[in-house]
Amino acid sequence: MSRLILASASPRRAELLAQIGVPFEVVPADIDETPKPGEAPEAYVERLAREKALAVAGAESRLPVLGSDTSVVIGGDILGKPDSPASARSMLQRLSGSTHQVITAVAVAVAGRCHCRVVTTNVTFRPLSQAEIHAYVASGEPFDKAGGYGIQGLGGIFVCELKGSYSAVVGLPLCETAELLAEAGYTVCDNWPGSGKESQP
C-alpha cells in the first residue's frame, strides 16, 4: 500500500502528512463532534478520531484511513474553536500565563480494524498583554483552531515552554502516526526518495 486517506479537512494535518512524505487523498468525515455528558477529554478525542476513521473507512475500504482530533484542555475544560472575537479573547486570557494540555488522538482504520493512540502535550503560555490578545484576534488566526491559537503561526510567540510532541499540538503526532501506520502494514519511509518503493504517478 502506497497511499492512504486522510479523514480530515484540516490543512495543518495535510501539511504534516506531506512533510513526512506520505501520499494521501482527503475525504473529510461527517460526524457529530458534540462531547458526551461527563466524557473525559482523552476519551472524547479518542472517540472522535476513531469515528472519523471508521466513518470514511466504511465507504472507502480500499485504503488505510487516518482520523485525528485535537482538544485544548485547561482546568479540565475543553476549549473548542472560538465562534466570536469575544470568545477568542476569553480563551487567550485564560491561557495567558498558564499551562494547558493539548490532547491529540490519531486512529488508523484498515481491514475492518481500528487502532488509536492518544498524545498529551503540556504547553505553557507567557503572560499576554491585552494589546497582544486584541491584535492576535484581529489577525483572524484563532478562529479555526482549538483553543483559539496556532503554535505554528503567529501564536507561536506566546509559547514559552512545551513538554511533549510539537506536531501533536499542530494537529497530528508524527511519531505515533508512523508507528500506527507501520502496525497497519504501511511503512512511511517506503515513500521517501531513494527508497526504491516510491509510489508511481
Q: Which amino acid is at 190?
A: D
Q: What is the pLDDT of residue 1?
A: 44
Q: What is the pLDDT of residues 70-90, one digit of tens each?
A: 999 999 999 999 999 999 999
Residue 148 contacts residue 82 (beta carbons within 8 Å): yes
Q: What is the pLDDT of residues 161-182, one digit of tens each?
A: 999 999 999 999 999 999 999 9
DSSP β-bridge partners for residue 78: 73
> Is 196's pLDDT higher than 80?
no
Q: Higher-confidence residue: 22 or 94?
A: 94
> Is 50's pLDDT higher than 90?
yes
Q: Tell whether 200 is covered by a domain.
A: no
DSSP β-bridge partners for residue 162: 123
| Whole-structure pTM value | 0.91
CATH of the domain at 96: 3.90.950.10
Give dist(CA 100, CA 124) in Å, integer.
Answer: 6
Q: Which of 3-7, 8-12, 107-111, 121-125 has the highest mean pLDDT?
A: 121-125
Give dist(CA 139, CA 10) in Å, integer.
Answer: 19
Q: Where are the alpha helices (DSSP H) in the chain?
A: 11-19, 41-57, 85-95, 130-139, 166-170, 174-183
Q: Tell whether 198 is covered by a domain.
A: no
Q: Tell whether 199 is covered by a domain.
A: no
Q: Which of 4-8, 62-66, 182-186 has the highest mean pLDDT?
A: 4-8
Catalytic site residue from 30, 32, 69, 77? 69
Q: What is the pLDDT of residue 191?
A: 83
Q: What is the pLDDT of residue 194?
A: 85
Contacts 24+ apart (CB under 8 A), 175-180: 176/106, 176/117, 176/119, 177/17, 177/20, 177/66, 177/106, 178/20, 179/117, 180/106, 180/107, 180/108, 180/115, 180/116, 180/117
Q: Tell whether 163 is covered by a domain.
A: yes
Burial 5-14 (b: 16+ CB within 10 A, else e): bbbbebebbb
User: Domain total for the chain?
Assistant: 1
Known active-site residue 190: no
Give dist(CA 198, CA 191) in Å, integer.
Answer: 4
Q: Tell whether 156 is covered by a domain.
A: yes
Cell 494521501 belongs to which residue?
A: 24
Residue 157 contacts residue 139 (beta carbons within 8 Å): no
pLDDT, averaged across the chain: 93
Mean pLDDT of 11-31: 94
Instruction: Tell me the residue range of the domain where 155 lies.
Output: 4-191
Residue 66 contacts residue 108 (beta carbons within 8 Å): yes
Q: Tell whether 201 is covered by a domain.
A: no
Q: What is the pLDDT of residue 201?
A: 44
Q: Tell whether 120 is covered by a domain.
A: yes
Q: What is the pLDDT of residue 2?
A: 54
